[in-house]
Amino acid sequence: MCYWISGRDEIACPGTTTPDRLRAFVAEREIPFSDEIVRQAADCLDSPLAGGSAMGWITLTSFTAHPHRLWALLDYAMHFAQTDAELELIAINLAEPILGHYGSLMVHFEQRAGADLAFARMLTGAWRYRMSDDVWRRLRRLQAGVPDPLPCRIPAEAGDGHMGHTLSARERAQADKGLYRRDAAGNWRMRSGR
């Protein structure tokens, strides 16, 4: 996660392998990871679906991971974020997909933003993506209350209808439309027939 946030993955390092780049990163940051964990991380990054990059891995994960895992990744990423660019990366690649696919989690975003200004600032970088009208309105209200929003924030003048025309009526009405759905007991289960 820290490797992805750092943008290190985007720096060309000819002649090096993914494990070599991860080992160098871990040593530079003095992160106490074992070589086995580094190898496991490298295997994830080098998987064909991830395309050999941390950005590919986070994109794949944002579409396929269980909602609780996505929340944990978001929380973990916030632990490492130090710059506006890093907060924007988290907003775009984790907050947007979570709220677009699992909008019923919005209450957790609202609670966390109320207690954590850095989290609230991160959310000002989230755009609509596939969010339902209700989730988008709630996010826009939250964004409007942040005193120092990120530079990439959609201006308030754009209104709550911003990008709504790009969504189907179903997407605009349904908060949860990802790979997982809640069962009758409220537990997340993988959708069948996908």
Question: Residues 12-52: pLDDT tens digits?
Answer: 566 678 788 778 877 887 777 788 878 887 887 788 777 77
- Same domain, yes or no, for 76 and 29? no
- Residue 97 CB coordination number (10 Å): 22
Residue predicted with more confidence, 41 or 10: 41
- Asked whether residue 76 falls in the same domain as residue 122, the answer is yes
Other CB atoms within 10 Å distance of the CB of residue 43? 12
Same domain, 135 and 191: yes
Specify whether 48 is located in the same domain as 106. no
Residues 194 and 99 in one domain: yes
Express each pLDDT in 138-176 by its tens digit.
999 999 999 999 988 876 777 677 777 888 899 999 999
95 lies in the same domain as 85:
yes
Number of domains the chain contains: 2
Print the domain residue range for 50.
1-64
pLDDT number for residue 35? 83
54 SS3 class: helix
Closest C-alpha among 145, 101, 132 to residue 123: 145
Q: What is the pLDDT of residue 140?
A: 94
Pair (137, 190) in one structural domain: yes
* 176 and 127 housed in the same domain: yes
C-beta of residue 118 within 8 angstroms of C-beta of residue 149: no
